[in-house]
Amino acid sequence: MNYEFDLWGWYVGQAITPGLRTTTVAPANKSVASTIGAPRSNWTGVAWVVAPYVATPPAPEPAGDPRMWWIDLGPFKDRLGMDAPAIYASTSDACKGVVGMVEGRKYIDLKDPRIALMMGVLIATAHPTANPIWPGSGPMTEAKRRAILDTPTTEYERHIKGLT
């Protein structure tokens, strides 16, 4: 059986087929009520926790042209610093999932909530673990995530050049 969660991790029901936001781990609380403060299962990336439900507003649109936040894959990896090779070298499911999420993309939208969620999984699991081959690597922190996702792209990094 597959158990589905939304972009913010809240349990939304069962799914017939596995997908990007499903797990085979059954939640303890299968409520899908949207009552603020009611107990509801939330997926952390490794386990379900029962937490008071919080309404999740739509992500605000960035001011200006949203394409200003589209970063090419190479510069995105550059922003990860020594965590990038540590993620690729890791055998942890969290790191393998991150690689699967970004590999093959033409660009990363830094304002896509799925990217923030993906990095949240690394934070929650304390990955990547520090790897002595890559000095300064691991683990992902909230400060690192903010620096990577909240810093506007430069012309060099930007997927579409010449935007103003």
- Domain range for 32 is 2-52
Looking at the structure, tell me whether residues 131 and 80 fall in a common domain.
yes
b/e per residue 110-127 (b: at least 16 CB within 10 A): bbbeebbbbbbbbbbbeb
Looking at the structure, tell me whether residues 143 and 110 fall in a common domain.
yes
Please indicate, yes or no, if residue 101 is contained in any of the structural domains: yes
Structure tokens that stand for 127 in this block:
């990955």
- The structural domain count of the chain equals 2
Looking at the structure, tell me whether residues 75 and 143 fall in a common domain.
yes
Query: pTM value?
Result: 0.64
Q: How confident is the model at residue 62 (pLDDT cuts 50, 70, 90)?
A: low
pLDDT computed for residue 21 by the predictor: 82
Q: How confident is the model at residue 59 (pLDDT cuts 50, 70, 90)?
A: low
Kindly state the greatest CA–CA separation across the chain: 50
Tens digits of residue pLDDT in 116-132: 888 888 988 899 999 99
Say if strands 70-72 and 48-52 run parallel, antiparallel, or are unpaired.
unpaired
pLDDT computed for residue 117 by the predictor: 85
